[in-house]
Structure 1
């Protein structure tokens, strides 16, 4: 049976609010947690972006659910040797309830140090080397490494978990899915794409878990929910590689002017129809996903959790 998790949005909420939402998610009957890792929000209306590793530390004490960053980019802004230490500490704090989600990132977050933002094929190559480096450091052994993209000298992570940390890899296209199958312990993607899942399975991911995520906007007023989703997350509807190459929230705001409320309403479950919400999550299950994570857009968090606890999760599990 598929698991259903809650996706904590660091772009919309501060650290205290995120921890409280995690508590509400556990009380509502969600199975697990994702949390986004951003340096910037996608636009100024979202308005937040706390340091994810501090929030994960707080989550380890606040809830008993598994936690995974979805996803961290260990390429440019943060060196993979540092991500290895952060992941090891998080795994120790969470006592076996931690997975590391990684991906090739977006210029929005990763270009801030003034480095060149590589093209997609180079980023995938960097990701493969970064994952290898993280796995070696998670053993607790001292290592030195001189690769194509990264150098590490005499590095050892002393605080490591008893069991290795599973590393899931984000992918949105066929080449990335094959890379995820080869280097990852699972696949993360954001659309119920059965073809992508099949490609991942054929490339070596036969028994590895596949997880997906989506956003919804619960409200008793559907029109208000559509307006909220459009105001905060119109960027979700931008096509192609724009999400990976636009460098600032201002640029996303400019591009999002092309997205209409009607486009958002057609793509995001909005309002309080439980069948619409359940259908959107079931599409992932039908496409072969093992876990689905849902994120509520906007401030109406308690109403969302009550609605899912009473009306949506029972439908999905029934």
Structure 2
């Protein structure tokens, strides 16, 4: 399978109109696919944005023509009922003429606590996600569905506009336990670390034909110091790992948890500056681990236009030569 490279529409750092513009520019630059985060709240207040991902993706589907689109990721258990996710994803698949993949995960407290229902344990969150995927799958058949489960009820529901090709589902996994839970339910894998054992475990359960979709942050800028400072200002939350990131409830919590992250820590954690070969080296780790797709996250709204105009094309040439 030929490796494919994506661009991240990061809703936490850009407004909706800007994101649609970046979607168009990323398609023109040659990216194979585009993934969108789906947040109610930014990780840090310095990021300053959090528009509705699905509304933005509908506009992006209309503004683009060939690039694939994907949520990375939507939590279909609290802020959204799975029946609503089934309807939204079916509609977006139709609007995009079959270019959409539904990326799902068990969510973060940061986004889901806003509905006032508390934050379940990780074991419960994964069971909820399992049940939600079953509901989404059934509703995507276009049949009339009634569901009485442990966590959700669906009463005489039908998706009336269903794409003939269906909606592929990718699920975020982090280890053997989540692979066991979701390997048979999902079409594709999502993960944010270049862990080869994760890919091996997934393929033992799911076979080798599925996509394995990773994501890597970068802070490209002609000036390395500017790139590091921008990444520290807006992306230092990333260093806590998902065990921490899933449970903190507010940007203030992430401010506190990341207050001792140093500029040097950021420079070691992600490629910063103008060196495209350094970015390619980071992507190579994902490819060597067995990932088929890697989406890049360019840090900072103010850096997007210049990255897409000056760096994206030569970077993609390097990545496709790996």
- Please give the range of the TM-score, normalised by the shorter of the 2 chains: over 0.9
Q: What corresponds to 1:315 in structure 2?
A: 318
By how many angstroms is 1:302 displaced? 2.3
Q: RMSD across aligned C-alpha pairs, in angstroms?
A: 1.1
CA contact (8 A) 1:269 1:277 kept: yes
- Preserved CA contact (<8 Å) 1:181 1:204: yes
The aligned counterpart of 1:189 is 191
Q: Distance in 2 between matches of 1:61 and 1:204?
A: 33
Q: Tell me, in whole angstroms, the C-alpha distance in 2 between the residues paired with 1:45 and 1:116.
A: 26
Cα separation, 2, equivalents of 1:72 and 1:308 = 29
Tell me which residue corresponds to 2:30.
29
Within the alignment, does 1:300 sit opposite 2:303 as a pair?
Answer: yes
- Is this contact kept in 2: 1:170–1:187, CA < 8 A? yes
Q: By how many angstroms is 1:248 displaced?
A: 0.7
Give the Cα–Cα distance (whole angstroms) in 1 for the partners of residues 176 and 47 of structure 2. 31
Aligned equivalents of 1:288 and 1:307: distance in 2?
Answer: 29
CA apart distance, 1:38 = 0.3
Of 283, 286, 296, 1:284 maps to 286
Q: C-alpha separation between the residues in 1 aligned to 2:207 and 2:180?
A: 9
Measure, in 2, the Cα distance between the counterparts of 1:37 and 1:170: 14
Residue aligning to 2:235: 233
Does the C-alpha gap of structure 1 residues 240 and 73 become closer, same or farther in structure 2, counting only changes over 3 Å? closer
Q: Give the C-alpha shift of residue 310 in structure 1.
A: 3.9
Question: 2 CA distance for matches of 1:307 and 1:252?
Answer: 32
TM-score normalized by structure 2? 0.96
- Give me the whole-angstrom Cα distance separating, in 2, the residues matched to 1:15 and 1:193: 33
**1:204 to 1:275, Cα distance in 2 relative to 1, 3 A:** same
Contact 2:30 2:313 in 1 (8 A): no
Q: How many residues align?
A: 318
Cα distance in 1 between the residues matched to 2:207 and 2:230: 38
Partner of 1:123: 125
> For 1:174 and 1:11, how far apart are their aligned partners in 2?
30
Matched residue of 1:11: which SS?
coil
Q: Report the counterpart of residue 248 of structure 1 in structure 2.
A: 250
2:204, 2:79 → 1: CA distance?
32
Report 1:1-318 matches (<5 A). Answer: 1-64=2-65, 65-239=67-241, 241-298=243-300, 299-318=302-321
Shift of 1:311: 2.5
TM-score w.r.t. the length of structure 1 is 0.97
Tell me how far apart the structure 1 counterparts of residues 318 and 184 of structure 2 sit (CA, whole Å).
35
Q: Which runs of 5+ in 2 are unaligned?
A: none
Structure 1 residues not aligned, in runs of 5+: none
Contact 1:182 1:205 in 2 (8 A): no
Q: Is the 8 A contact 1:84 1:137 kept in 2?
A: yes
Deviates more, 1:227-236 or 1:306-315: 306-315
Greater alpha carbon shift after TM alignment, 202-211 vs 54-63: 202-211
For residues 211-241 of structure 1, what are the alpha-carbon distances to aligned partners after superposition, in whole Å with 9 as ceiling and x for unaligned?
0001111111101111100100100001451
